[in-house]
Structure 1
Amino acid sequence: MTAKTWNILGIVAAAVVIVGITIALVVRPWEQPGAAGPDGDVTAADTLDATTHVLDDAGEGAPVVVEFLDFECPSCALVYPEMESLRAEHAGEVTFAVRYFPLASHQNAFPAALAAEAAAQQGEFEAMYQRLFETHSDWAGTDDAAATFRGFAEELGLDMAAYDAAIADPATGDRIEADYEAGVALGVQSTPTIFIDGQRLELSHVDDIGAGIDAALAD
């Protein structure tokens, strides 16, 4: 093998090492295909905790639907109307809950979650949740969405001093991070990820959500 060939191979090998290091630094393991999920069977109780935002509580024995979401995610925005429709259709017979899973690729996802959590501290999570999705096209991808979210808080009649304090409080961000970490532990890699009675829904069309709920109700 010539010296020139060895030089070429050396350059290629170095490039592969550099690319490998770069991937390891910028890609979280759970965002890669085939990321490991939880060990053993997952139950509905495993997909929520005492802090989870429950939109509709149908009581013990009812199917439990938990969505891990990113407010800036276009797919979550597309799923939102279907989820609202299903909530109305199954009022009193299905429990619906949502958890935060802001993706690093969406610059406004975490600020939006902060706005929702700050509103939750004043008992207005659902109102902010709905406002964020209903106005998604107005703020997604903008540079000053936090100001827009503050405007939503004013429109909802929130105590703005308390809202601002909640936004600035690291504990509010910790609450969002706890949901994110719970999602990672469950194998969540993208949004929306929906669990029905602990089973992750294979979502290829919005109609799959209603079909999954119907199957859970039939069990």
Structure 2
Amino acid sequence: MKTPVKATLIALGVAIVLAIVAIVYAMTQRAADPAPPEGERLQTVRTDSHVLDQGGDGAVTVVEFLDFECEACGAFYPIVEDLRAQYAGDITYVVRYFPLPGHINSTQAALAAEAAAQQDRFEDMYHRLFETQAQWGENSVETPEVFRGFAEDLGLDLAAYDAAIADPATLERVQVDKSDGEKLGVRSTPSFFIDGEAVTLQAWGDLEAAIAEAVGGDR
């Protein structure tokens, strides 16, 4: 096959993939119009929230409510990683659980992340879950053994991991994040807040634009 033809086919394939991802993203965002109930105290960050990057005094706080099984969250994952690197020191990046009921393994994945967090390995599990999402996502049954396998691969204390998974307090911790998100008006994932204000996403570059404006200019 001639090189120009191959290049054209590759470009077409990439365009199709991007179009599919965009459709998935649009579908997950269709109900996201954060509008907190009147009189509710907003809680975008708690003292025990998981902080991936600590920007220090004066940093902009970016909060993401996510579902590890959500395809749109998976599509945003590399974008988020790029932004974390680009704005290192300027932002404090916080992630919170928001497992959606339509995703069979979303709560199990959140439990795995929280159990890892109890061994100070939250970020390692966060990366592993997104990097392997295609392997375990969209299953018809829960697969906790898959996540236990990730814990073993990461060298976690499996006895402590198993105890954390079985402890009702671990699920309660996940549900606290979900409850806060619901009070903030989160209905789909990913949903982002910058310094407590909801970010409206209509295009892939909107999150970066919002962060750039918050930190005081483009990079």
Which TM-score applies when normalising by structure 1? 0.80
Letter of the 1:37 partner, please give it. Answer: P
Letter of the 2:128 partner, please give it. Answer: R
Q: Which residues in structure 2 correspond to 1:9-24 (within 5 Å)?
A: none
User: Where does residue 126 of structure 2 map in the other structure?
Assistant: 129
The 1:34–1:88 alpha-carbon spacing in structure 2 relative to 1, beyond 3 Å, is closer
| Matched-pair identity in % | 53
Q: Which residues in structure 2 correspond to 1:91-106 (within 5 Å)?
A: 91-106=88-103
Structure 1's unaligned 5+ residue stretches are 1-30
User: Where does residue 61 of structure 1 map in the other structure?
Assistant: 58
Instruction: Decide whether the 8 Å contact of 1:71 with 1:109 is kept in 2.
Output: yes
Distance in 1, matches of 2:35 and 2:216, equals: 30
The 1:117–1:163 alpha-carbon spacing in structure 2 relative to 1, beyond 3 Å, is same
Aligned residues: CA RMSD: 2.2
Instruction: Decide whether the 8 Å contact of 1:67 with 1:195 is kept in 2.
Output: yes
Q: Structure 1 runs of 4+ off > 4 angstroms?
A: 31-36, 40-43
The 1:157–1:61 alpha-carbon spacing in structure 2 relative to 1, beyond 3 Å, is same
Instruction: Decide whether the 8 Å contact of 2:62 with 2:194 is kept in 1.
Output: yes
User: Where does residue 19 of structure 2 map in the other structure?
Assistant: none
User: Where does residue 141 of structure 1 map in the other structure?
Assistant: 138
Distance in 2, matches of 1:206 and 1:146, equals: 32
Match of 2:49 among 52, 73, 76: 52
Are 2:214 and 1:216 equivalent residues in the alignment?
A: yes
Letter of the 2:64 partner, please give it. Answer: E
* Alignment deviations for residues 71-106 of structure 1 (CA, whole Å, 9 cap, x no partner): 111100000100001001111111101000001111
Are 2:137 and 1:108 equivalent residues in the alignment?
A: no
Distance in 1, matches of 2:167 and 2:212, equals: 41
Number of equivalences: 187
Shift of 1:35: 7.7
For residue 47 of structure 1, give the secondary structure of its aligned residue in structure 2.
coil
Q: Which residues in structure 2 correspond to 1:148-187 (within 5 Å)?
A: 148-187=146-185
For residue 207 of structure 2, give the secondary structure of its aligned residue in structure 1.
helix
Distance in 2, matches of 1:137 and 1:41, equals: 37
User: Where does residue 36 of structure 2 map in the other structure?
Assistant: 37
Shift of 1:133: 0.3
Which TM-score applies when normalising by structure 2? 0.80
The 1:52–1:208 alpha-carbon spacing in structure 2 relative to 1, beyond 3 Å, is same
Shift of 1:206: 2.4
Structure 2's unaligned 5+ residue stretches are 1-29
Distance in 2, matches of 1:131 and 1:110, equals: 16
